[in-house]
Structures are given as C-alpha cells and as structure tokens.
Amino acid sequence: MGQWMLYCLLILVGMFLGALFSRSWLREGDPRDMPMVPPVWTLPPPTGLPRNDAYLINATTAAVASEDVTCSNLGLSILQGKNGSAVDAAITTTLCIGLLNAFSSGIGGGGFMVVHVPETHKVNDQVLRDIGYDGELEDGRVVALDFRETSPSQCEKDTYGTHKAGRMAAQVGGLAIGVPGELRGLEAVMPVAELAKGWRVSRELARRLRLFGEFMLSSPTWSAVYAPRGAMLVEGDFIQRLNYGKTLEKIAEEGASAFYQGEIAESSIKTIAKAGGVMTLDDLKSFKALSYPAIHSTFMDKEIYTTSAPSSGGILLGLLNVLEPLNITSDGGLKNPLNVHRFLEALKFAFGARSWVTDPAFAKDKKRLEEVYTKEWADGIREKITDNETHSADYYGLQYDTPIDHGTTHLSAVDKWGGAASVTSTVNLIWGSHVMDPKTGVIFNDEQAPDAFGLWPSPWNYPAPGKKPLSSTSASIILNPTTHSSPSSPSSSSSSSSSLYAVIGGSGGSRIFPSVAQVLINLFSGLDISESIEAYRVHNQIVPDLTTIEVGPEGVDQGIVKALKEKGHNVGEFDVNIGISEVQAIVVEDGHIFAASDSRKNGIAAGY
C-alpha cells in the first residue's frame, strides 16, 4: 500500500475521535435527526415495518450514499474534513457498514469495487496504485477491483452434497465459509474501531434482530453482542462490539496482513474448523485481490463501466443493450404496461445467460462470458422477445439455477475532483454463515451457499479450490461521452474530456442487477435519482415462475397487473416495505451532486 494511503490512515484517527464527540449523528438520541433537505418522496410505513422517508441530497462538492446515515456521514467527513478521495471515503464507509450492519457486510466477506480517477484528480494515478492496480489506464480511466471470496483449497464440487447436513451445510456453519477477501481488497482499515466502542441500534438493525432473535438467543457468542441483558436489543439501545473493535485496531496497526496470518487468522481457522469448515491458514495467506480495466458498454449516450465475471456486471450491460433499442425510457417508461412486459422478457433472457457465468479463471470458454455484453448478443436476444406473450423457462436458455446473496451492501462516493468509487460487499445470506469468532468478533460469509430456493447451481459454479462464486453484484460508474480528438479517429479519444455522470449499485441478491437497471430506466425517463430509486419495481428470475410487483401505500397500478396477466405472467404482489433489494446512487449534473439512498433499507445519503 502506498505511503499516501498510509498517511491518510494515520491522520484519520484524529478526525475520527473528533467526529465521535462533535457530530450530532453520533450523540445520544435518534441519529437520523440531522439537517436534511425536505423529502422528495415519502412512504408512510405500515405498522410494524417502520422505514425512513426518502431524501434527495443536493450537494455541490462531494457525496456518499450508503444504507446507514451514520456511515454516509462518516464517509463524508473523510471527503470534507480530511481532503480524502472517493476511495478513502468508500473504504471508511464500507468498514462502517460492516460494523453497524453486520448482517450485510464485514471483513469476513468480500466484494467488488469500481473506481474512476480523472486526469485532473489531485492524487491522480496514486489512488489506483494504492488499491493494487498497476496496468495501463484506458479511456475513461475506470478500474475494477475484485475482492470476492474464494473457495478453500479442500473444497470440491461434492463437498456439500455428500455432507451429512446436505444443503444447509452450504448456508450455515463452517462449510459455508469462503476465504474472506474484503481486507485484501480494501487494503486499509480506517479507525472504525473507535465506533465499535459504542453506538445506538438503528431502525434497520433492529428489524434484522427481530427476524433472527431466536437464533441469536440460542448462541452465547451472538447474544453477548445483540442480547447482552438476556433480551434482544431494540432501536435506540446502546450496543458495542468491543472484540471486533480490537481486531480492527490490530489490523490498523499491523496492516491488512494481520487478518490473513498470525493471531487473528489462527483464531479464525479454529472457529471455522469447530463449525465444521475446511479452510486452512494457507487459504487465508494466499488470497489475492484482482484489478483490471472495467468492462463497459453504452446506454442512452452514456458510457457504463462495471465489473466482469464472476459478478453480474456483464449481465447488467447485456440487459440494457437489449432494452435500449426498444425505447424503454419512452412512452411513460416503466409506467407503460408494454415496456414493463418487454423489460421482464429481457430480464428472463438475462437470467438465462447468467446461469452459465462463472469465475473466468475456471471458464472453458471465456469468449462466452464476454459476448453477453456485446451489442450483437443483444440484437439476437431482442429478436426473441414477443410483445403478446411470455414463455416457459426453457425458452430463455436457463440451464440451471444460480446462487443468490441477500447479506449485501452497496455504497457510492464522489469526491471534489470528480473521482468516484462504487463498492458492493457481502457476506452472502443475512448474517453470513451464522458463525462468529468469539475472540475476534468477525462474522464469516457463507459464499458457498446454493440457491435459497433449494436448487443447486450450474456445473459452471460448482465449488473448486481457489474458485470465486458467482455474484449478483453490479457496482457501476457512468460517464458522459468522451470527446474524440478527431472525427476520423474515434478510437483515439481524449480521456480528460470524459466526465462523471453517475455512481450506482445495489444489494438484495438476485434482484441487484434488475433493480439497478430499473433505476437507470427511471432516471433516463425523466425522474430524479431519488424518485428513480423509490419507484416500484418488478422482478422475474425464471425460477420460481413468478413475476413480482411491489405495492406501496399508494397501491399498485392494476392496469399493469392486468396487462401482464393477459400476456401469461404469473403475477404476485408484495409489500415494498419488505425491502428485498436496495439501490444507492449519485448523479452529477448541472453543477450539482444529487445523492440518494434507498428507503427500503432505511438508508440516507450525505453530501456538502
């Protein structure tokens, strides 16, 4: 890690201590009571399912959008008070979410990051070097970082099928744990350890604790944190994760390698083995993050950059490529029944293609992984979409079901130089593998889990030593079109003239890339970014055979429901407040930075 990043780590300690005692959002009381622009769209929550209002943050300099207001503000303080970059803010915010919302993320998990560093950036190439990228910077100057977990060296395709616990062995317990990648990927630990000394239970954490109270009360390790007095903590209660804070302090002092070897690593392996896992110290020590030029395509005259396989970034690009020539943003956008039908049909083809996406290092045909985000592939898919009816599962090319990951978080950050970071990290299903190290406080992922509906993944995604599991994530950065240096040479573009337009991504398992796509369609249909996020969403992933449509307090457009049923869709309605998938995004336009976090997960963004 570069000296510049180390310097940032040291000076942030002082900032963090000051913030803990001076910022209103860390004082006693409701942390959401802070200055904020008026809500642009409000969903009065039903009884028993409280949620925040939705806010559109209108900033002029920098912004952070995450699923927790405390973490959004903490990330913003890095940008505002310490002259940090978007990458600095993203690192701090990610670790903050892993502390406060451990059901979504943590250093026992992994993920993906997309970074844009314009030529005019203060620290220029050093930001990319600090995250481990040493390649050439291509047009757009956007780089992807893959710190997805890997399968342990003793993990084979039949590890779970032959285990006495069967399918559950790949969801809960030691066998579910993949080699954590988050710390190698971020390569820095901010003083989030200070926050571990105490904070107030948020609305979203309280909701997740209610859902998993029985499990936590049955475990001395978990109840020591989340039910220290014998009853589950509720919103507003004081909470601490002192052992986890000490783990972060040790990593901050000794570097990320302290997690992968030494005392912390030994404790992790001991805990995992006790839970029935097969990970070794060599697995931890040998983990390496990958960095590469982000893959990209175009949509609505913008350049979209995202992560390649084993993420679903390429699937997102392919889906948008199919939809754009269908004028999906015209004639009312997703308020038009025909547009909704076309979106669902394109989405099912996207899920068909997703079933054979795998870790490129294990792919027999890498060209197949790349063709899905080409315009040619999209042209062929578009010809198969029929406006009058839907079809059976085999029509869409689905060969096997694919894993989903619920325990996920996304954040977007923009700094004052126009740099950006889009980060999605996960522990897979909620609360990961349900394995917590009682000594270090680390909650481990369950990235070896099969699909939660009960179907096993395709042969392309059977576990193998060192293999990265398929991910639903699609962290993305969108740039305005690059100005070419000369009309006769479109390939010789001037990267300095490409400017940031948006940073976006989501959480929520298999609904992630469909949700991101719908938000972008809404945005290019004329809604602002908060309205685009808060609008209703539809979903169909072929298995199960169900088209779901969100229902808010204002009800649902029965005209759309009726039209879909007439075309053969099996439509089911569900309460938007359930919060299955959430999107965090930032849009830069006309001298303003508009940031919004999804109220489905009680998120609030921050900016200045």
Peptide bond into 465 cis (omega under 30): no
Q: Which amino acid is at 589?
A: E
> What is the structure's pLDDT at 470?
76
Predicted confidence (pLDDT) per residue in 40-79, tens digit: 333 333 333 556 788 999 999 999 999 999 999 999 988 8
Consult the annotation and say whether 148 binds a ligand.
yes
Predicted confidence (pLDDT) per residue in 406-437, tens digit: 558 999 999 999 999 999 987 555 565 678 89
Domain ranges of the chain: 52-155+288-428+463-482+497-607
User: 10 Å Cβ neighbour count for 301?
Assistant: 9
Q: Report the candidate in 387, 511, 441, 334 with the shortest Cα–Cα distance to residue 106.
A: 441
Q: Which residues of the chain, if any, have pLDDT below 50? A: 1-48, 157-188, 448-456, 484-497
Contacts of 183 (CB under 8 A, 6+ apart): 107, 189, 251, 256, 259, 260
CA 484 to chain centre: 33
Structure tokens at 505: 């991504």
pTM (2 decimals)? Answer: 0.82
Residue 408 known to be catalytic: yes
Consult the annotation and say whether 428 binds a ligand.
yes
388-400 burial by CB neighbour count: b if 16+ within 10 A, else e? eebeeeeebbbee
| Coil vs helix vs strand at 250 | helix
Q: For residue 559, with 0-12 CB atoms within 10 Å meaning exposed, 13-18 middle and 19 or more buried, which class applies?
A: exposed
- How far from 534 is each of 42, 522, 598, CA to CA, in Å? 9, 10, 7
Q: Which amino acid is at 448?
A: Q
Structure tokens at 81: 């008070």
The secondary element (H helix, E strand) that includes residue 448 is none
The secondary element (H helix, E strand) that includes residue 177 is none
> What is the structure's pLDDT at 151?
58
User: What are phi and psi for residue 183, nearest 5 degrees?
Assistant: -70, -35
d(CA 501, CA 304): 10
Catalytic residue among 92, 247, 402, 408: 408
d(CA 421, CA 415): 9
Q: Which amino acid is at 533?
A: I
> What is the structure's pLDDT at 124?
59
Consult the annotation and say whether 185 binds a ligand.
no
Consult the annotation and say whether 426 binds a ligand.
yes
Task: Domain 52-155+288-428+463-482+497-607: give its CATH architecture.
Answer: 4-Layer Sandwich (3.60)
Consult the annotation and say whether 509 binds a ligand.
yes
Structure tokens at 233: 């903590």
| Coil vs helix vs strand at 407 | strand
Peptide bond into 310 cis (omega under 30): yes
> What is the structure's pLDDT at 139?
73
